[in-house]
Amino acid sequence: MAEKIDEVFKVIDEQRDGYLHELLELLRLPSVSANPTCRKYIENAAERLCKALKARGAGCEVLETEGHPVVCGSFQAKDKGPTLLIYGHYDVQPPDPLEEWQSDPFDPVIKDGYVYARGASDDKGQLFCYVAALDAINRAGLQVPVNLRFLFEGEEEIGSPNLRKFLLHRHELLESDAVVISDGSQAAPGVPAITYGLRGLAYLQIDVEGPKRDLHSGVYGGIVVNPLQALVDILSHLKDENDRVMIEGFYDDVLVPDETERAMIRSLPFDEEQLKEYLGISVFGGEKEFHPLERRLLRPTLDVNGIWGGYSGPGAKTVIPSRAGAKISMRLVPNQRYKKITDLTGQYIRKVTPPGVRVKVTPMEGTDPVLVNTKSREVQIAARALEIAFGRPPVFMREGGSIPVVSLFSELMGSKPILLLGFGRPDDGIHGPNERFNLDDFFKGIKTAVALFFLMAER
């Protein structure tokens, strides 16, 4: 079995250029799910992936949802074997702010061993590892030892609003022994990881309305409540000086971190000075009583993600705007529930809104935090696969981000194991400008997938 894996690894090393080329083609499509004008590229990306799977002998269909389509592929093993469900997403974040990219986000550039493009790491590069793995086993002339289902969606970056309904109607797509998801990162460059915990997310938009028209601040300054001032006051009330969220009840369901786990997390690779330099900051923020990694992995947070209102052009305009708005999000940890947090946040915001303006709070996305049982056979096999591909055993970690579908899978598939194998790096710059994916990680990701398939078939 180790021989078979080695044979396929050789093929992968020979096919590096081909796999990279195919990934670059995928990265050229601006499949921004949040942008309605990108619908064409969303469809192109789905079709391209479907073709890629068919070319490797898998069955595949692009299935419509009420939003963007889902690519559903399946590969039947010749011999009996377990079934793995591979989830990924072919949609990407908006590329804003465009002016901070050093190259076109949708014209990938190879530099210093990285490919730079929107979606390189999140998630086109990672999902494509599984397509390439199937290809490599075929090329090596070997039988694919497991049954595979592929589920590549196009709405992950907007919170997968239609996936639940889609899967509830096509429950057969979920029939499998484990779900495999690569949409995250290693613990540190070269240190593979299995993620057993994800933070949840509650994302809201706040709209503040004051006077029904924009006003001149010379005439109305000091007379009306300025919606911009009201908005910054509301936002400023959300956290205290120690970065503690002040929404009443916010921490009620937060699990007190276990001392063993805290110690384990504090021992993860983390170079504070290097990270500060990478980020260009002199001090970290956040709750001082927790280590930065604990803050990322074990603690809930709140961030303002966007704000607008009034005049932001060149020069000066002495306006009191009629309205102002902001987007905020909270990262949640077990056992917080996004619905409850969303409600509490709305109540709190209405409470701290000054008289003289109207406030509207619109929930935009929500997902619950996830914890996976690390003791299962499948998780242990995934650990061996990572060790074979990366040359060292993975660490078990939580991740600060959220993958709404993981909550969904854990809800829809009961106790089936969810394998979260992140091939990216913490500094891939996902969601920001100059997103990148390390090419070594790309090929190690393909190898991990191959090893996982063979090890999983062993009984």
Closest among 448, 446, 435, 436 to 16, alpha carbons compared: 446
Q: Tell me the closest approach of the beta carbon of residue 317 to a copy of itself, in angstroms.
A: 6
Q: Is 399 tagged catalytic?
A: no
Nearer to a copy of itself, 24 or 319 (CB): 319
Q: Tell me the closest approach of the beta carbon of residue 357 to a copy of itself, in angstroms.
A: 8
Q: Does 299 bind a copy of itself (CB under 8 A)?
A: yes
* Structure token digits, residue 275: 């990270």
**Rounded distance between C-alpha atoms, residue 389 and residue 280, angstroms:** 33
Q: Does 1 bind a copy of itself (CB under 8 A)?
A: no
Cβ atoms of residues 370 and 407 within 8 Å: yes
Nearer to a copy of itself, 335 or 362 (CB): 362
According to CB under 8 A, which one of 76, 165, 171, 311 is a site residue for a copy of itself? 311
Cβ atoms of residues 369 and 198 within 8 Å: yes
* Structure token digits, residue 77: 């093993």
Q: Which of 91, 153, 157, 399 is catalytic?
A: 91
Closest among 398, 418, 350 to 179, alpha carbons compared: 418
Q: Tell me the closest approach of the beta carbon of residue 212 to a copy of itself, in angstroms.
A: 3
What residues are paired with 329 via a beta bridge?
203, 303
**Rounded distance between C-alpha atoms, residue 456 and residue 8, angstroms:** 16
Nearer to a copy of itself, 56 or 331 (CB): 331
According to CB under 8 A, which one of 119, 321, 369, 445 is a site residue for a copy of itself? 321
Q: Scanning residues 87 to 126, which ones bind a copy of itself (CB under 8 A)?
A: 93-94, 96-97, 100
Q: Scanning residues 335 to 394, which ones bind a copy of itself (CB under 8 A)?
A: 354-356, 364-365
Measured at the CA of 129, the angle between CA 123 and CA 133, to 5 degrees, comes to 160
Measured at the CA of 37, the angle between CA 32 and CA 38, to 5 degrees, comes to 35
In sequence order, what E strands does 10-168 have? 59-63, 70-75, 83-89, 109-111, 114-116, 147-153
Report phi then psi at 9, rounded to 5: -60, -40
* Structure token digits, residue 213: 């028209």
Q: Scanning residues 234 to 253, which ones bind a copy of itself (CB under 8 A)?
A: 235-237, 239, 241, 243
Nearer to a copy of itself, 2 or 219 (CB): 219
Cβ neighbours for 254, distance < 8 A, ≥ 6 positions apart: 299, 300, 333, 334, 335, 336
Nearer to a copy of itself, 145 or 192 (CB): 192
Stretch that binds a copy of itself, among 18-26, 130-138, 294-302, 381-389 (CB under 8 A): 294-302
Q: Scanning residues 186 to 205, which ones bind a copy of itself (CB under 8 A)?
A: 199, 201, 203
> How many residues touch a copy of itself (CB under 8 A)?
101
Q: Does 210 bind a copy of itself (CB under 8 A)?
A: yes
Q: Which of 123, 156, 294, 368 is catalytic?
A: 156
Nearer to a copy of itself, 320 or 451 (CB): 320
Q: Tell me the closest approach of the beta carbon of residue 76 to a copy of itself, in angstroms.
A: 36
- In terms of Cβ atoms closer than 10 Å to its own Cβ (0-12, 13-18, 19+), residue 447 is buried
According to CB under 8 A, which one of 44, 83, 138, 217 is a site residue for a copy of itself? 217
Q: Does 400 bind a copy of itself (CB under 8 A)?
A: yes
According to CB under 8 A, which one of 107, 284, 377, 411 is a site residue for a copy of itself? 284
Cβ neighbours for 381, distance < 8 A, ≥ 6 positions apart: 452, 455, 456
Nearer to a copy of itself, 158 or 450 (CB): 158
**Rounded distance between C-alpha atoms, residue 101 and residue 311, angstroms:** 25
Stretch that binds a copy of itself, among 173-181, 321-329, 410-418, 445-453 (CB under 8 A): 321-329
**Rounded distance between C-alpha atoms, residue 307 and residue 34, angstroms:** 17
DSSP label of 354: P
Residue in the block written with tokens 């590549």: 152
Closest among 364, 326, 360 to 342, alpha carbons compared: 364
Q: Scanning residues 405 to 444, which ones bind a copy of itself (CB under 8 A)?
A: 426, 429-434
Each residue 6-45 as x (binds a copy of itself by CB under 8 A) or -, in order, gives ---------------------------xxxx---------
**Rounded distance between C-alpha atoms, residue 240 and residue 231, angstroms:** 16
Stretch that binds a copy of itself, among 112-120, 132-140, 276-284, 339-347 (CB under 8 A): 276-284
Q: Is 248 tagged catalytic?
A: no
Q: Tell me the closest approach of the beta carbon of residue 358 to a copy of itself, in angstroms.
A: 9
Nearer to a copy of itself, 125 or 145 (CB): 125
Just list the catalytic residues.
91, 156
